[in-house]
Structure formats: C-alpha cells, structure tokens
Copies of this chain bind each other. A is one copy, B any other.
Amino acid sequence: MTDLSVRPRCLFVIFGATGDLTKRKLLPAIYQLKLQGQLPDQFAVIATARKEYTDESYREIAKEAVTQYSGSTLKEEIWESLCKQLFYHQLQFDEDDGYAGLKVMLEGLDDQLQTNGNHIFYLAVAPEYFGEISDRIEKFQLINQDRGWYRLMIEKPFGNNLESARELNSDLTRVFREENLYRIDHYLVKEMVRNLMVIRASNQIFEPLWNGDYIDHIEIISMESEGIGLRGRYYDKSGALRDMVQNHLLQMLALTAMEMPDSLSTTKVRTEKVKMLRALIPIDEDQISNQVVLGQYEGYLDEERVKADSPTETFAALKVCLDHPRWRDVPFYLKTGKAVVSKMTQINIQFKRPLGTSYLGDVLQSADPNRLIIKIQPDEGFEVVFNTKKPGTLDSIMPVSMDFCQSCLVEQNTPEAYEKLILDCINGDASSFTHWDELEATWTWIDKITDWAYRNPQEVRTYPKGSEGPEAAEELLKRSKDRDKK
C-alpha cells in the first residue's frame, strides 16, 4: 500500500497540452486525482504547446475539457484549487526558443514547491518528436542529474519494428536512464490485468495448477466491434500485429505465463515477464501459415487515409508456444480484430480433462473441461466453469458457470487508466510500464511475422464486418479442441 503522506513532490510537464490526449485523458485524470486527494500537496502541472495562451486562458480551456470529459460534475472548489497548480508555457517542440523560458518556469516552481527538482515529462505528441524533445530537455537542463528524479512518460507506438524501436530507444536513453522511462501500455493498468497476479497468488486452488500439467491451452483475445475510424494514417502503417499483438497481447501473455515474482517490485515483475517474452518460440517460416491467420475486414480499403491496395491486417490470430518447462506443449492462442462481432477482451485458461481415474468412463470424456475466464473489458471480472452432476441422474454431467462480475459492483469505482498511470509514475512504480527488454523481445519475435506478412500479402484474408473474423482463425483453435477429444 502506498503511504499517501510520503507521496513525492514534483512538477508534471505536459508536451502537447492542447491536443486531444491532454484534453480527453490527462487533464480529467489529474482533476480526479486531485478530487480523491491522491496528488502530492506540493505539485504543479506545466502545460506546453505551440499555441499562445496565458495561464488564465489555458485554465479556461482546461476547465472546459475537464467538464466535458471527466464524467462527473465539476466541483468548483476542487477546480479552483487545481487551477492554482496549473500553468501554461508556449513552446515549439522542435525549436530551441521556448525551452530556456520553460527552464526558468520549472526552476521557479521547484523553489516555490520545494520539489527537489523532481520532474515528470509527459510527451503527449507524435513519436517523431520524442527525440527532438528529449534532446532539448537535456540541452536546456530541464533535468538535473544531481538533484531529485526525472521521469519520461510516453505513449505507444514505440517503434514500428525492432530497428526503429532501437533507434527511438537510443534517442531517449541518451538523456533518460531506462529506469526513468515510463512506456505506457494501457492494458497493463486495466483492473483485471493487474488482478491476474493477485488471482494466481491468492488462490490456493489455482496456484498449484498453473502449469502445463493441468492447463491444456490459454486464449488471449482482444476484439473490437469498431473499425479503424479516422486512424487510417497511423493504422495503415501498423496493422493488428504491431498495434495489438506486439504490445497488449504479448504483455497479457507474459503476465499470465510468468513465474510468480517474489514481490510486486517493478524489477521483480519485469524480470519474470522478460523471461517469458524471451521464451517465445520463433515461428518457423515453413510453419507460419499453420500458426498465423491474418485478416482484413471488407470495406477497410475505403477507410480514410488507407492505401487503395493496402495489405494491412486488421485481424490476427496466432498459435504461440513458449520454451519453458512450465508451459511445455501448452499452446497460447492470441486473437485480435477490428470490426468483428463484439467488443471483448479476455483471457481464457482451459484446464485439461481430469486424469488419473476412469471413474464415470465415457460420460467424463464428453464433459467440458474446467475453464477460468478473466474478463478484462467491457465486463470486468472472472468466471469459472465447473462440472456438476445433472440433477436426478446418476452420472450425467453438466457444466455450470460461476461468475464474479467486478464491474457490476456499483459501489466499486474502478479508476480510469490515466489516473493509475500518472499516480504510478509519481510514486515511481514502473511495474505496469514496459521495459526495453520486453520491447526488444517482442519486436524480435513479431518482426519475423510482419516480414512474412509483407512478403505474402495474399495471406491476408478478407472477412465481413461484424463477423468472427476469417474462418481459418477458428480452425487454429479447433485443431486444439480436437486434440482435447483424443
């Protein structure tokens, strides 16, 4: 538990303070944290962008944004109090001009708030500016290696392949040490993703069974009913493998598969995740079409800013194996798609059929295996599928499902992702952010697949909007289900 009384004093500097992300997510999150009393008392937000605002005029547009996006009625006294901690500084990211003035502003606030020089920089800008900004952060000494701490928060995408990720990383690590880089993966702060470790560790009836002796296979699924909307410019260069699999799905895989860390510390959790991501067995070129199914929804080519003959995949299903004794012969099925029938993210852990007894004979063979389903969104909770005797029969079995719906607990207020991200960064807890070692392992693994996809555009199958995706994806899993029946 975090001790609120020792929450570190710091300045929170936003680059891109007039953009959508800041208005929709960052400012409302900061307001909510203020409302909940979660912010340090000695704290200020410095918003920077190209446009000309005074503190007062920026506070006006900030208030509008918070009112519109915070999801609750603005409490005036809280807002008034937050306003006094909110400042604006005009700045062209890729020009030196404004940085010296920013330095003066930060130094003034540091003195006033006795922050000891603790600074968080949030880059709410396109990745191509990351290097420009971090270079100038150093050049204009917005950080001081001898005082306090400094942290950089950035959004995905972190590169487009291993090479570009390395370049970007090298740009950033010229200025920031790895432990000060807070690379956001929104999935890692989702309630039920964070809950994964707790469910494993705190339930004696799961923990001993969490391996290939008892688990048959695991599905990690993240589906969206919407298409790409207006994100064509970004998405068409990315595709499902880079946009979803390399980061969110493989992160969920790592959290599901990893050995239980000794503690919740950032280093221990990351170490265990990296071990599993490095254990990803590369998919051989000659097996790839048996293990990977790509799709593109009908109508994708008509979306705005998408190339007319784009082979970009909007759907990916993969059979993944790990070179690790815990998971020998346990396939992980990853599946993600846009414009499919329903919006749903979940992890399905399917146990093996009961072994070691011939009791109930043929009846048992036909029973469903036990399943643990971790529901991540839109519902949050978990479900366990058991078998029980069909009432009134001697030995017929029927499955029953038991459900814990966390999001149904109305009294529980699940914090928004950005509240958790900002708070974690203030507290120096990077366990829900991505380490470079994880990026390196996942890009290395995914590059083989994206390279193959680039050379084989014919492998991308079209599927109707609102469907389950390409039929071939169902086949991937079905082959495993057939295996069950053996």
Contact = CB atoms under 8 A, between A and B. Distances in A.
A360 B269 CA distance: 12
A202 to B, nearest CB: 4
Contacts of A100: none
A162 interface: no
Contacts of A205: 205-206, 209, 214, 351, 370, 372, 384, 386
A362 to B, nearest CB: 9
Contacts of A194: 389, 394
Contacts of A287: none
A2 interface: yes
A260 B357 contact: yes
Interface stretch (A140-148, A231-239, A312-320, A411-419): A411-419
A406 to B, nearest CB: 6
Contacts of A393: 1
Nearest to A196: B389
B202 A387 contact: yes
Contacts of A429: 394
A199 interface: yes
A353 B260 contact: no
Contacts of A359: 197, 201, 260-264
B369 A204 contact: yes
B214 A361 contact: no
Interface in A361-400: 361, 363-364, 367, 369-370, 372, 380, 382, 384, 386-397, 400
A354 B414 contact: no
Nearest to A383: B402
A412 B391 contact: yes
A192 B2 CA distance: 45
A136 interface: no
B358 A262 contact: yes
Nearest to A198: B389
B203 A357 contact: no
A277 to B, nearest CB: 20
Given A197-B359, A358-B262, A387-B199, A396 B204 contact: no
A452 interface: no
A207 interface: yes
B360 A264 contact: yes
B414 A356 contact: no
A194 B391 CA distance: 10
B389 A195 contact: yes
**In this complex, which of A204, A356, A389, A400 has the most chain B Cβ atoms within 10 angstroms of its Cβ?**
A204
A180 B394 CA distance: 21
A412 to B, nearest CB: 4
Contacts of A25: none
Interface in A297-337: none
A129 interface: no
B406 A388 contact: yes
Nearest to A382: B388
Contacts of A357: 201, 207, 260, 262
Interface in A239-291: 260-264
A364 B204 contact: no
Nearest to A395: B264
A404 interface: yes
A406 B387 contact: no
A409 interface: yes
Given A195-B388, A406-B391, A352 B204 contact: yes
Contacts of A207: 354, 356-357
Interface string A185-197: 0000001001101
24 contacts: A1-B395, A2-B394, A191-B389, A195-B389, A198-B387, A201-B354, A201-B359, A202-B364, A202-B397, A204-B214, A204-B351, A205-B214, A205-B351, A207-B357, A208-B208, A208-B209, A260-B359, A262-B357, A264-B359, A386-B404, A391-B414, A392-B412, A392-B415, A402-B403
Given A202-B367, A263-B358, A388-B406, 6 more contacts: A2-B394, A203-B387, A204-B351, A205-B384, A262-B359, A388-B404
- Please give me the 5 A-B residue pairs with the lowest Cβ-Cβ distance, nearest first: A402-B402, A202-B387, A198-B389, A195-B389, A391-B412
